[in-house]
A and B are shown apart, each in its own frame.
Chain A
Amino acid sequence: MSGKDRIEIFPSRMAQTIMKARLKGAQTGRNLLKKKSDALTLRFRQILKKIIETKMLMGEVMREAAFSLAEAKFTAGDFSTTVIQNVNKAQVKIRAKKDNVAGVTLPIFEHYHEGTDSYELTGLARGGEQLAKLKRNYAKAVELLVELASLQTSFVTLDEAIKITNRRVNAIEHELDEREREEFYRLKKIQEKKKILKEKTERELEKRKVAGEVTEPANLLAEEKDEDLLFE
C-alpha cells in the first residue's frame, strides 16, 4: 500500500514539481500498459474463436477418420498387426516457432513430413484404395491436432500475460490515485505553511513600522507626482 512507501521529502515547491513529473511518467506508463492489455485481449479473443472452430472441425474429422477405418477393415481384413509391426520412425514431426504479440512470445507448432511412407505397399492385395483414404483422413486429423495444440498453448500463455498486465495496470492506477491524494495533501500543507510564514513576516513588519525604525520604501505606483518629470 502507498502508506508504507511514502517518500520523506521536504514540502517545498520544487519537490512538488518533481513529484508532478513522476506522476506524469506513471500515467504514461499506465496508458501504455493498458494498450498492451487491450492488444493481448484482442488476440486472445481471436484465438478463442479459432479454437472453437477447430474443435468443431476436429469432431467431424475424427468421426470421418474412424468411419474410414471401419471401411478399410471391411475390405482389407485386419491390418492392425501389419501396421504396428512396421512402426519405426515418426513420419510427421513438429517444429516449434515463436510468434510475438505486443511483447509476449507465443509458441507455434508447425508440422512437416520426413521420410517416405513406409505403409505404401500395405493392402496391396486388397483394400488398398480404402487404406489410402484412411491414411489421408488420419493425416488430416493429425494436422488439425497440431494446430489445436499450438492454439491452446497460445491461449494459456496469453491468459497468463493478460492477468499479469491487468494486475500491473490496476496497481499503477492505485498508485496514481494515492499519489494524487498525496499531492493535494502536500500542496495544502505547503500553502498553509507559506500562509503562516507570510503572516509572521507581516506582523513583524507592522511591529517595526510602529517602532518607527523602518520607513516605507518609495512606492512608485502610489506616487501621484513624479519629481523627475519636467513637464506635466
Chain B
Amino acid sequence: MLGSAELCFNVDHGYLEGLVRGCKAGLLTQQDYLNLVQCETLEDLKVHLQTTDYGNFLANQTNPLTVSKIDTEMRRKLCGEFEYFRNHSLEPLSTFFTYMTCGYMIDNVILLVSGALQKKSVRDLLGRCHPLGRFSEMEAVNIADTPSDLFHAVLVETPLAPFFQDCMSENTLDELNIEVLRNKLYKSYLEAFYNFCKDHGDVTAEIMCPILEFEADRRAFIITLNSFGTELSKDAREALYPTCGQLYPEGLRLLAQAEDFEQMKRVVDHYGVYKPLFEAVGDGSGGKSLEDVFYEHEVKMNVLAFTRQFHCGVFYAYTKLREQEMRNIVWIAECISQRHRTKINSYIPIP
C-alpha cells in the first residue's frame, strides 16, 4: 500500500530510528580522521578519541595501551548499542536484527565446531567469539562428544538451521573443509536475508536489496579472485556464489569459468555498475586493491541509506559504517604503533 511506510513505521520503530540517526551523526568526520592521523603515540589517539562520541571508553585501561585493547573496547561499545536497539525493537525489526546477527553467528559456530573437533578448550573459544553473534546454546558445545551430537545440540536450535539444511547433511560435517563450509553457510544466509527484505516490501526492500545484491556479487568476485591457484575446483567455486545478486545467472556462470583477473574484468564489462569499480583498481602495490574499491562502494551505499526514512535499512547501514570506522581506527593505531606511516592514509573515509 502506498504511503504505508510513512504511516505505520514510526508507531513501532520511530524512537529507534531517531536514536540510530543520532548515533550516525556521531561517527568520526574527516576532521577527526585528520587529527588521528597526526598523532604520534597511542596515548595521543586516546586523547583525541575522548573528544568524539567515543568519550572515555578507554578510561579504565591500564598502561600500556595496545591496539588490541582499543579494538576490544570499540567492539564492546558497538555491541552495547546494538543490544540496546535490539532489545527495544518490535516485529518485524527484531527479525531484521536477528538476520543481521546470523552472519556473526556463522563465524562463531564454525569456530566452536572446528575447536570441538580438535578437542580444544571451550572456554577459550567462547572468549574469542564475536559478541554480536552470541546465541544461547553456545555453552552446549562442550557437552557434545561426536559431531552429530554437536549438530543436534547446537545447530538445530539456532536460527542457522535452515542454512545448514541447504548445504549438507550431518555426516559431511567433519570432512568438509571448514572454509568451504563457512562460505556455503554464508551464501544460504545471504539469500534468506535477501528474500526476507524483498518480502517485507516498501522502502526497506528498496534500500536493502541493492545493498545485499552488491554484497552477493562482491563475494562472488572475491571468492573467484582468491581461488585462482588454489585447489578449489570450478564447480566447488560456483557452488559458493550467492545467487541473489545482479550477476545471477549469466555472470556467475562466466565467473566460474574465469582463470585470471583479466577474464574476470571481461565478465564485468557487461555490468555497468561494476565496470567503473574494476577500472579504479590500481595494479601492484601502488594503487588500490579490489577489496579497497569494494569497501568504498559499500560505504557509499550505506551512507545513501540514510537519505530515506522509515525503513529498517538504517540499522544495517549504521552497523556496517561503525564497523568500517572501527577498522579505520585500528588501522591508524597500528600504523602509529609500528611507526610505519607511509600508508596511514589508506583508511576508507566515511563522507
The tally of residues in A whose CB lies under 8 Å from a CB in B reads 24
Q: Closest chain B residue to A128 by CB distance?
A: B226
> Which residues of B in the span 102-159 have a Cβ within 8 Å of any Cβ on A?
111, 114-115, 118, 120, 125, 128
Q: Closest chain A residue to B327 by CB distance?
A: A74
Task: Please tell me if the beta carbons of B180 and A67 are within 8 angstroms of each other in the complex.
Answer: no
Assembled-state Cα–Cα distance A116/B335 (Å): 33
Task: Please tell me if the beta carbons of A85 and B118 are within 8 angstroms of each other in the complex.
Answer: yes
Q: Closest chain B residue to A85 by CB distance?
A: B114
Assembled-state Cα–Cα distance A126/B331 (Å): 17
Assembled-state Cα–Cα distance A66/B111 (Å): 25
Assembled-state Cα–Cα distance A127/B120 (Å): 26
- B118 contacts which chain A residues (CB < 8 A)? 85
Assembled-state Cα–Cα distance A127/B223 (Å): 10
- A120 contacts which chain B residues (CB < 8 A)? 230-231
CB proximity of A25 to chain B, nearest CB, Å: 63
- B340 contacts which chain A residues (CB < 8 A)? 63, 67
A70 within 8 A of B: yes
B206 within 8 A of A: no
- A126 contacts which chain B residues (CB < 8 A)? 222, 291
A75 within 8 A of B: yes
Task: Please tell me if the beta carbons of A129 and B291 are within 8 angstroms of each other in the complex.
Answer: yes
> Which residues of B in the span 191-224 have a Cβ within 8 Å of any Cβ on A?
219, 222-223
CB proximity of B99 to chain A, nearest CB, Å: 18
- B114 contacts which chain A residues (CB < 8 A)? 85-86
Task: Please tell me if the beta carbons of A86 and B178 are within 8 angstroms of each other in the complex.
Answer: yes
Assembled-state Cα–Cα distance A129/B294 (Å): 14
- A128 contacts which chain B residues (CB < 8 A)? 222, 225-226
Contact A125/B223 with A85-B120, A120-B230, A120-B231 known, Cβ cut-off 8 Å: yes
Assembled-state Cα–Cα distance A75/B296 (Å): 12
- B343 contacts which chain A residues (CB < 8 A)? 67, 71
- B115 contacts which chain A residues (CB < 8 A)? 85
0 or 1 for each of B287-301: is its CB under 8 Å from A? (1 = yes): 001111001000000
**Out of A81, A123, A127, A129, which one reaches B111, CB within 8 Å?**
A81
Task: Please tell me if the beta carbons of A129 and B226 are within 8 angstroms of each other in the complex.
Answer: yes
Task: Please tell me if the beta carbons of B330 and A73 are within 8 angstroms of each other in the complex.
Answer: yes
CB pairs A–B below 8 angstroms (8 shown):
A63-B338, A70-B334, A70-B335, A81-B125, A125-B183, A125-B226, A126-B291, A129-B290
B residues apposed to A, CB below 8 Å: 111, 114-115, 118, 120, 125, 128, 177-180, 182-183, 186, 219, 222-223, 225-227, 230-232, 240, 289-292, 295, 327, 330-331, 334-335, 338, 340, 343
A residues apposed to B, CB below 8 Å: 63, 66-67, 70-71, 73-75, 81-82, 85-86, 116, 120-130
